[in-house]
Amino acid sequence: MPRSYVAEARRKKVAPKKERIRPVIDRLAAEHADAGIALRFRNDLELLNSVMLSAQTTDVNVNRVTEKLFRKYTRPEDYLAVPVEELEQDVYATGFYRQKAKSLRGAMQRIVEVYGGEVPQSFDELLTLPGVARKTANVVSAERGDAQGIVVDTHVRRLSQRLGFTRQEDPVKIERDLVRLVPRADWARFPHLLIWHGRRICDARRPRCEDCPLAEDLCPASRV
């Protein structure tokens, strides 16, 4: 079980979360105007495969791998035309390469056989692809402009707990709390704002509360 940050939300008395969510989003949007997905892709297929490869590694590392990968594999069929060992070697640097290669081939096979070579459009159809769970489907849908939920990664989990927006530990339950709180129009950008704030300011071990635009009146975990 990863470390919990729920208890940190007891440090400071602030307004109820429903009153804070709008100003939190607005201040983070002003602070991180450049917040967006860090993965590099040119189309739906590259988006899907980048997200699948991003598990348990950094976006920087994925981009380094996909720079070559996407020149070699341009269609779903390309992933099926090489021996699995070759694909494993091509994604080796992302970690868990055997499982990732298996998932990529499984997803590409279904895309070819069921969806005519095109990445399926609906959230539920994305979930039928091997190796695609809710987080991946959420990212793909959000980047297509049709967010069906809120992506919960380690940064979103940590900041949502520190901000007192959830007391849950499980990502699915955290998402459930967030979709009830965050306006739907902000579902796509909300996780990006938390992710970038988590990387730049709200560090897991040593959050820089003195530099945080939320610390004074919006964050119950503030140390200043």
The three-class DSSP label of residue 96 is coil
Q: Of these residues, 153, 173, 186, 217, which one is catalytic?
A: 153
pLDDT at res. 156: 98
Share above pLDDT 90 across residues of the chain, in percent, rounded to a whole number: 99
| Contact status, residue 129 vs residue 45, Cβ threshold 8 Å | no
Average pLDDT for residues 77-82, to the nearest whole number?
A: 98
CA distances from 96 to 88, 92, 99, 102 (A): 9, 7, 6, 10
Q: How confident is the model at residue 1, as a pLDDT?
A: 75
pLDDT at 40: 97
Rounded distance between C-alpha atoms, residue 39 and residue 31, angstroms: 21
**pLDDT at residue 102 tops 80:** yes
Alpha helix segments (H runs only) across the chain: 17-31, 44-53, 59-72, 76-80, 84-90, 97-114, 123-126, 134-143, 154-162, 171-181, 189-200
> Quick check: is 186 catalytic?
no
Selecting among 135, 177, 186, 211, the annotated active-site residue is 135
Catalytic annotation present for 146: no
Q: What is the pTM of this model?
A: 0.92
Q: 120-166, pLDDT tens digit by residue?
A: 999 999 999 999 999 999 999 999 999 999 999 999 999 999 999 99
At 209, the amino acid letter reads C
Interacting residues of 166 by C-beta distance below 8 A, sequence separation 6+ = 6, 160, 173, 174, 177, 178
Residue 15: per-residue pLDDT: 98
Q: What digits encode the pLDDT tens for the residues 2-58?
A: 899 999 999 999 999 999 999 999 999 999 999 999 999 999 999 999 999 999 999
Averaged pLDDT score across all residues of the chain: 97
